[in-house]
Amino acid sequence: MRLPDLFALATIRFYQRRLSPHKGFRCAHAALHGGEGCSGAVARIVQEDGLVAGRRRIAARFRDCRAAHRALQAGAPLSPLAFGADVQTRGVCCIGPCPVPFRCG
């Protein structure tokens, strides 16, 4: 695995362990569809394809998450696989107001 891939995975793991539990909202894609959140999906893509080769799949995931956010804002029901009925989503994609380094919608 290349250094950028290792750095990306380490950053994702830090986010998942240290930041995500305290942010107070859930990934819109996971809230709408169930399954893994964007951080888990991106980590999987980096492991499978690498960061550079997987960039299109990563961007597609963020586009899907943005669409899920819009659907939830329009009143779409949460997935039964989402964690609890009090799931909140906010911001652009699942990362709130943080900028994504590529277009996702």
Query: Residue ranges per domain, the chain?
Result: 3-73
Cβ density class 18-42: b for 16+ within 10 Å, e for less: eebeeeeebbbbbbbbeeebbbebb
pTM of the model: 0.75
Say if residues 79 and 34 touch (Cβ distance below 8 Å).
Answer: yes
Q: What is the pLDDT of residues 67-80, one digit of tens each?
A: 888 888 888 777 66
Q: What is the pLDDT of residues 4-61, one digit of tens each?
A: 999 999 999 998 888 887 776 678 888 888 888 899 999 999 999 999 999 999 999 9
Phi/psi at 91 (5° precision): 75, -165
